[in-house]
Amino acid sequence: MEYKNISVEVDEGIAVLKVNRPRALNALNVETLKEIQDALRKLARREDVRGLILTGEGTKAFVAGADIAEMKEMDPQQAHEFSRLGHQTLKMIEEFPWPVIAAVNGYALGGGLEIALACDFIYAQEGARLGLPEVTLGIFPGFGGTQRLPRHIGRAQAKELIYTGEMIEAQRAYELGIVNKVCKAEELLEEAKNTLRRIARNGPLAVKVAKELVNRGLETSQEEGEELEISAWANMFASFDQKEGMGAFLEKRAPQFKGK
């Protein structure tokens, strides 16, 4: 897949999508968001992909926000379209069929942190700085930050970060529950790949459905979520993977899952 503002590589079932605008600290513009959407659609259809890593090109930034130069002269209609595009892109990340890890290799600000929050896990390198500084520009997070961050860390902590616009380092983000793991810079990508490799050894259908249930459960009552779980769990017993996984356990051998 060839793009102007991103790069995509797939190796041994793991896709790595890099935002590739290092001179602009990998800032998001309309063209970049559309390229990310196109790549996500294509990767979701590939049978050889079982996990995705999102990261940024270079050593300074994961994604340092949206492109301010592009945003500055937007009118309300253009801003509405840009926000909608951002929300659509992040929803595609959130609903990607396989686990997604944000490998935060530098600044993750504004839209960058919002992208990371749409991923299943966030791994950050030591010293990386994260935040939602939009209020310092006279706006507020427009790609889902006001909705996803409170779901991650609770309303009070989220409000403080959003209202102050302050940046925090990776270790503090870990303590707040935003980041899953803090890694040395040279180990960040490999740590993310190792996690996806461990997940890929499990039943792929089970992982896929579990992700759907967790995501849907956050949008429903607990009672509705439990009913979804009961139904989906029962359906797993019609799958090859369930028979293979339990059979392999009883026969004391490694399972050979097929994702069906």
Q: One of 81, 134, 175, 229 is an active-site residue; which one?
A: 134
The first and second tokens of residue 41, run together, are 């659609």
Q: Is 35 a catalytic residue?
A: no
Q: Is 114 a catalytic residue?
A: yes
Q: One of 47, 114, 223, 251 is an active-site residue; which one?
A: 114
C-alpha dist (Å) from residue 140 to 4, 103, 109, 246: 28, 24, 12, 50
Type of residue numbered 219:
E
> Helix/strand/coil (H, E, C) string of the chain?
CCCCCEEEEEECCEEEEEECCHHHCCCECHHHHHHHHHHHHHHHHCCCCCEEEEEECCCCEEECCECHHHHCCCCHHHHHHHHHHHHHHHHHHHCCCCCEEEEECCEEECHHHHHHHCCCEEEEECCCEEECHHHHHCCCCCCCHHHHHHHHHCHHHHHHHHHHCCEEEHHHHHHHCCCCEEECHHHHHHHHHHHHHHHHCCCHHHHHHHHHHHHHHCCCCHHHHHHHHHHHHHHHCCCHHHHHHHHHHHHCCCCCCCCC
Contact partners, residue 31, CB within 8 Å, separation at least 6:
4, 5
Which residues are catalytically annotated? 114, 134
